[in-house]
Structure 1
Amino acid sequence: MLNISSSTDLRRQICKSMKLLPGFLKHCTSTVTIREVACYHLVNTTETYAQLPNLRQLFLSNNQISGCIPENIGEVLPNLSILDLSNNSISGFIPNSIRNMKVLEALDLFRNKLMGPIPTSMGNLKNMMTLVLRGNTLSEQIPSSLKNCTQLEVLDLGDNQLSGNLPSWIGQSLTSLRVLSLRSNKPIGAIPNTMSSLYSLQVFDAAENCLSGTIPDIFTNFTAMKVTKKMADYNYDRNHSFYYMVSIDIVAKGSMMDYTEFLSLVTCIDLSRNNFSRRIPESLTKF
């Protein structure tokens, strides 16, 4: 395991030679963490990367990384289980080669400058439990191939430009979801009744969209929002996706709040700023 933070002197040497990163990583095993070291142009799409079969977890969040995700990232990191590139300035498209990262469990691309559609090839990641794409400029419809990612517990697509109807297959196929955020996009139409199958859902944020019609009376089925547990029951298991500490922004009483360590204690439904008609379902008032 290698961990480089802003408090180390080693980070300065690493940043001076970031063009050598692939060769540097080649000799690493298991986990590499490089955070808050202000490294520029860490990602280079034109560079030929050697395969890194030993690397399991790569954390590069909170840097000043620019450029594009390498087209061959799926071949470079075939055995990666966690990839965290959040809070950088990465641009371009999510490459299709990501389909080859078949053991990937957590992908966090939060707050970058990614654009274009979510690649349909992402549906090949059947072991993925956490997918965070919030805070980019991703567009078009949510690909139906994501219904193959049946292990998903966290799906955060907020603050993008996604359009189309809210897919009915989310409730039919992604029944393990605990967090579903579609906040601040451009979906239209009604909330599908199939959402009633999301028994494990604790956070459902579909605020600031163009959803319309009647709010369906499905919320009594969100049983995870009602169950009271002891604090000890919320300890994170290393085999659980929540061991990767997901950070979610939730609006509470008009203020945006960030939840990370205590996310599993949070329950939230936010459907504000849409175009719903008629009455609020009685089931929505019983939480």
Structure 2
Amino acid sequence: MTSLAVLNLAYNNFSGEIPHSLGSLTNLKALYIRQNSFSGMLPSFSQCQQLQILDLGGNTLTGSVPAWIGTDLLNSRILSMRFNRLHGSIPSIICQLQFLQILDLLTNGLSGKIPHCFNNFTLLYQDNNSGKPMEFIVQGFYRKFPRRYLYIGDLLVQWKNQEAEYKNPLLYLKTIDLSSNELVGGVPEEIAEMRGLKSLNLSRNDLNGTVVERIGQMKMLESLDMSRNQLSGVIPQGLANLTFLSVLDLSNNHLSGRIPSSTQLQSFDRSSYSDNVQLCGPPLQECPGYAPPSPLIDYGSNNNP
């Protein structure tokens, strides 16, 4: 089956290891095996250099995130390995995937630090509003005659705290989800350079340091979840500049100081900031001793003092 372009085995009850022979499908563009019971380590797909979508979520795969993804799958646009049993660190070599729009490593056992090179994801660096369609022209037969078909893919993803299946997600979604792992260290400042990113979820790790100071550059961000970490320091004023932000969760950290004043940040529920003992200001209780600034009065240049 050397001409096979799309293989969709999702939502079955397949078990055992993923056959190594799949790595010989050199024309494969999309592989969906999510929501099965595949186990063991991922075989090499180094020969599948046209592969754009690798959807492995919802299995019990073990081992680490393979380095060959970053060296050989340079056309990758979707990499979903969510809900598996992967361990080890996130290899910085995956930053070579310039066309990547969706990186989903939710709920594994990944450890180590977040690579500082995520700003190399070129499509996430660009702040244009849409991506390219996720469509493939595949060969088929109709009444024994060859025919070309348009295959439109889908993806299961968590978007704005809701898990749903999206048809043609690359038209809109630009997401990174590293939540529910064992990641440590600070949040790299380079993340703020991903101006096209729409959803960032780093929750339920062991990250420390501060919220990225330049986060206000991420103008397209609609959902930000950094809850249940060890983050400290103040909330950057730039967060108030994210006018598309509709989901925010900074709860269960060690943040302090006053929440910046803006229509945007005060519109979120108290739960977005809860369990930060030293954090204050609306929508939480007001900071002790806080007095609002006095309005400036312009008496005009023609008036006597």
Q: Does 1:130 align with 2:175?
A: yes
User: d(CA) in 2 for partners of 1:112 and 1:134?
Assistant: 9
Q: Secondary structure at the match of 1:54?
A: coil
**Alpha carbons of structure 1 residues 16 and 278: separation in structure 2 relative to 1, 3 Å:** closer
Q: Does 1:208 align with 2:252?
A: yes
Q: Does 1:79 align with 2:78?
A: no
CA deviation string 1:57-109 (max 9, x = no partner): 11110000100111221122100111110000011111111121100001000
Number of equivalenced pairs: 232
User: d(CA) in 1 for partners of 2:188 and 2:176?
Assistant: 14
Alignment of 1:156-167 (within 5 A): 156-167=201-212
Instruction: Choose between structure 1 and 2: higher helix proportion.
Output: 1
- Report what 2:229 is aligned to: 185
- Report what 2:8 is aligned to: 3
User: d(CA) in 2 for partners of 1:53 and 1:276?
Assistant: 51
Q: Does 1:111 align with 2:107?
A: yes
Is the Cα–Cα contact under 8 Å of residues 209 and 231 in structure 2 kept in the other structure? yes
**Alpha carbons of structure 1 residues 212 and 43: separation in structure 2 relative to 1, 3 Å:** same
Is the Cα–Cα contact under 8 Å of residues 17 and 39 in structure 2 kept in the other structure? no
User: d(CA) in 2 for partners of 1:150 and 1:32?
Assistant: 29
- Report what 1:41 is aligned to: 40
User: d(CA) in 2 for partners of 1:157 and 1:144?
Assistant: 14
User: d(CA) in 2 for partners of 1:101 and 1:277?
Assistant: 38
Q: Secondary structure at the match of 1:89?
A: coil
Displacement over 2 Å in runs of 4+: 5-8, 15-24, 49-53, 276-282
Q: Which runs of 5 or more structure 2 residues have no equivalent in the other structure? A: 1-5, 125-173, 287-305
**Match among 279, 282, 289 for residue 280 of structure 1:** 282
Q: Does 1:28 align with 2:28?
A: yes
User: d(CA) in 2 for partners of 1:22 and 1:222?
Assistant: 48
User: d(CA) in 2 for partners of 1:277 and 1:6?
Assistant: 44
Q: Secondary structure at the match of 2:39?
A: coil
User: d(CA) in 2 for partners of 1:18 and 1:164?
Assistant: 42
Normalising by structure 2, what TM-score? Answer: 0.70
The AA in structure 2 aligned to 1:175 is K
Q: Does 1:139 align with 2:184?
A: yes
Is the Cα–Cα contact under 8 Å of residues 94 and 118 in structure 1 kept in the other structure? yes
User: d(CA) in 1 for partners of 2:280 and 2:224?
Assistant: 24
- Report what 2:170 is aligned to: none
Offset of residue 20 of structure 1: 3.4
**Alpha carbons of structure 1 residues 280 and 148: separation in structure 2 relative to 1, 3 Å:** closer
Is the Cα–Cα contact under 8 Å of residues 188 and 209 in structure 1 kept in the other structure? yes
Offset of residue 147 of structure 1: 2.1
Is the Cα–Cα contact under 8 Å of residues 203 and 269 in structure 1 kept in the other structure? no
Is the Cα–Cα contact under 8 Å of residues 270 and 283 in structure 2 kept in the other structure? no
Offset of residue 269 of structure 1: 6.2
**Alpha carbons of structure 1 residues 278 and 119: separation in structure 2 relative to 1, 3 Å:** closer
Q: Secondary structure at the match of 2:79?
A: strand
User: d(CA) in 1 for partners of 2:209 and 2:10?
Assistant: 41
Q: What RMSD in Å do the two structures reach over aligned CA positions?
A: 2.5
Offset of residue 4 of structure 1: 0.3
- Aligned-pair identity in percent equals 29
**Match among 249, 270, 285 for residue 272 of structure 2:** 270
Is the Cα–Cα contact under 8 Å of residues 61 and 87 in structure 1 kept in the other structure? yes
Q: Secondary structure at the match of 2:197?
A: coil
